[in-house]
Amino acid sequence: MQELLKSYPVVAKLPVIWGDMDSFQHVNNAIYFRYFESARIQYFEALGWMDIVDSLGVGPILGSTSCRYRIPLTYPDTVYAGAKITEMHEKRFTMEYLIVSEQHPETVAEGTGIVICYNYKKNQTTQIPEVVHQAIEKLEGRKF
Amino acid sequence: MQELLKSYPVVAKLPVIWGDMDSFQHVNNAIYFRYFESARIQYFEALGWMDIVDSLGVGPILGSTSCRYRIPLTYPDTVYAGAKITEMHEKRFTMEYLIVSEQHPETVAEGTGIVICYNYKKNQTTQIPEVVHQAIEKLEGRKF
Amino acid sequence: MQELLKSYPVVAKLPVIWGDMDSFQHVNNAIYFRYFESARIQYFEALGWMDIVDSLGVGPILGSTSCRYRIPLTYPDTVYAGAKITEMHEKRFTMEYLIVSEQHPETVAEGTGIVICYNYKKNQTTQIPEVVHQAIEKLEGRKF
Amino acid sequence: MQELLKSYPVVAKLPVIWGDMDSFQHVNNAIYFRYFESARIQYFEALGWMDIVDSLGVGPILGSTSCRYRIPLTYPDTVYAGAKITEMHEKRFTMEYLIVSEQHPETVAEGTGIVICYNYKKNQTTQIPEVVHQAIEKLEGRKF
């Protein structure tokens, strides 16, 4: 499990909630995007971005996302959702997500997210702020 | 069904969503509070309150709420959630909720909510604004 | 709006729920997968599949899904989520989803889902049942 | 915090999820019932009831529930939801819930739930099974 998550600088630990199972008695498909979101928000916090959204006037917007389901989850279990950034463009970057669980210490699900930088004052997409770019490189331990 | 909802000036119509059922194959208990909330928000809109929260600086806060479950709901169905105000105090009022459905044209669930007026500028509870009080009396067709 | 949804044999109509907005004051990204799911379930019902899952012993499982977000949704609004099948393989098929809304009569979001046929008795993937295949062709008005 | 939860034999530990905040930027009121449910299910597991629902043919149904909100919750935080049984009748019992959090080590919210014993084979309410009654007395450390 730790081997699988090794390349993910941020990992959110989340209990599987009984009420997140649907009438097929598995965790509902939409909940995996909640897991991805939790990892993504934790990643942005690790960058220090959430604290400067207001002063920068530039925040992240989710442009698209996907999930591939490999093993159904059931309560009780604990999920580990890893997030990493694998590609950087001028105005957007690509995140990859991986979910493993204590009951299933293998790839339970994997996903992607395209995050777009948005200037809330000008209401338009904008370049990734230099301070955010540098924080990502530091967190990922590589240059983009 | 119309008879049951007659005394409720606001009724929210909501489809039962398949994904709102839990692994007992009924609509999950927490979703009923989502139904109540939808009726409550629609009631505040009918009062015109939502448009003046910012200018008044006074908005509603939910202090407590309850639900009594009578008939389990399943997909597919359509829910009607009625809301009315039954008591007014200086700084708070009591709402009552009733849920009926197309599959169950009787009392599916009933609930209450205590709503508190809050001054967001002063961070303290405050009196029900006169304009809101009057709008409630007009909507309910009675004096409090 | 009708033009956009013309090629979708199933369209789910869903109100935007106030409580589905997150603290960015837009409908949360995970809720779009709830919309897709509602359209997907309604599609399976139109096929008559849901009624024969038990007797067939073969049901649908979501293998992967994706969403591209184009316009943020806010309360109040009403969403129309279209679903169609665009590709059929031996054991799986591809659905495409489109979301438009009354406030935004254009492409609000689009998505995909890979649905896998699963034999619940043998616990393995299986061929699309002939009766389901034929119902899909009839609903889509084309041969696969 | 430990003092407050001392009388609760079961305490569920749950992270506050960013996506559980609504557009008022607090954890949505319906989510508290998800917290109560998590504590309730964990309580039933501690009794060993969940394992024998099928063989007993008798399971728990939520008859009514309530919540009083004292302090708004925000992300990030961790919630502790305590559950205890305070009253036993022939066919139903009363649970009390208490929520405290790491950011707010005081009473964040408190609630109640009336749980009814239901015979799924006969489709009617029934007596609390003796084995469940005894497990409750053992867990609570008192006679009812």
- pLDDT at residue D106 tops 90: yes
Tell me the per-residue pLDDT of A87-107, one tens digit each, with 9 for 90 and over: 999 999 999 999 999 999 999
Could you write out the three-class secondary structure of chain C?
A: CHHHHCCCCEEEEEECCHHHECCCCCECCCHHHHHHHHHHHHHHHHHCHHHHHHHHCEEEEEEEEEEEECCCCCCCCEEEEEEEEEEECCCEEEEEEEEEECCCCCCCEEEEEEEEEEECCCCEECCCCHHHHHHHHHHHCCCC
Which residue in D has a C-alpha nearest to residue A37's C-alpha? D19
Q: Rounded mean pLDDT of chain B?
A: 96
**What pLDDT does residue A73 have?**
98
Residue type, D24: F
For residue D25, give the CATH number of its domain. 3.10.129.10
Is the pTM of the predicted complex or chain greater than 0.95?
yes
Can you tell me the mean pLDDT for D65-93? 98
Q: What is the domain extent for residue A59?
A: 2-140
Interior/surface letters A54-74, b for 16+ CB within 10 angstroms, e for the rest:
eebebbbbbbbbbbbbeeebb
| A-chain residues near B28 (CB < 8 A) | 19
> What's the confidence (pLDDT) of residue C66?
98
Residue A91 and residue D109: Cα distance in Å, rounded? Answer: 43
Question: Chain C 45-64, CB below 8 Å of chain D: which residues?
Answer: none
C76 preceded by a cis bond (ω within 30 of 0): yes
| Residue of C15, C34, C45 lying closest to B14 (CB–CB) | C15
Whether C124 contacts chain D with CB within 8 A: no
**Would you call the peptide bond into B60 cis, given omega within 30 degrees of 0 as the criterion?**
no
User: Quick count: other Cβ atoms within 10 Å of Cβ C107?
Assistant: 13
Output the pLDDT for position A58. Answer: 94
| Chain segment C109-141, per-residue pLDDT in tens | 999 999 999 998 899 999 999 999 999 999 999
Q: How confident is the model at residue D140 (pLDDT cuts 50, 70, 90)?
A: very high
Alpha-carbon distance of B97 to B140, in angstroms, equals 14
Judged by CB atoms closer than 8 Å, whether chains meet at A37 and D18 is answered as: yes
Say if the Cβ atoms of D66 and B64 lie within 8 Å: yes
Helical spans, DSSP H, in B1-144: 2-5, 31-47, 49-56, 130-140
- Does A14 sit within 8 Å of D41, measured CB to CB? no
Q: Model ipTM?
A: 0.96
Where chain B has pLDDT below 50, the residues are none
CA A20 to chain centre: 19
From B118, B1, B105, B2, select the one nearest B61 (Cα to Cα): B118
Q: Do C23 and D28 touch (CB under 8 A)?
A: no
B45: distance to nearest CA of chain C, Å?
10
Q: Phi first, then psi: give them for residue C26, nearest 5 degrees.
A: -130, 160
Beta carbons of D19 and C25 less than 8 Å apart:
no
Domain count, chain A: 1
Look up residue D6 and give its DSSP letter: T
Partners of B18 on chain A (C-beta within 8 Å) are 22-23
pLDDT value for D134: 97
Report whether pLDDT(D1) > 90: no
Give pLDDT, residue A102: 98
Contacts of B21 in chain A (CB under 8 A): 22-23
Would an 8 Å CB–CB cutoff place A19 in contact with chain D? yes
Q: What amino acid occupies position C66?
A: S
pLDDT (mean) for C94-103: 98
Kindly state the average pLDDT of the residues D89-114.
Answer: 98
The predicted structure's pLDDT at residue A76:
97
Report the relative pairing of strands D92-101 and D78-88 from DSSP bridges. Answer: antiparallel
Low-confidence ranges of chain A (pLDDT < 70): none
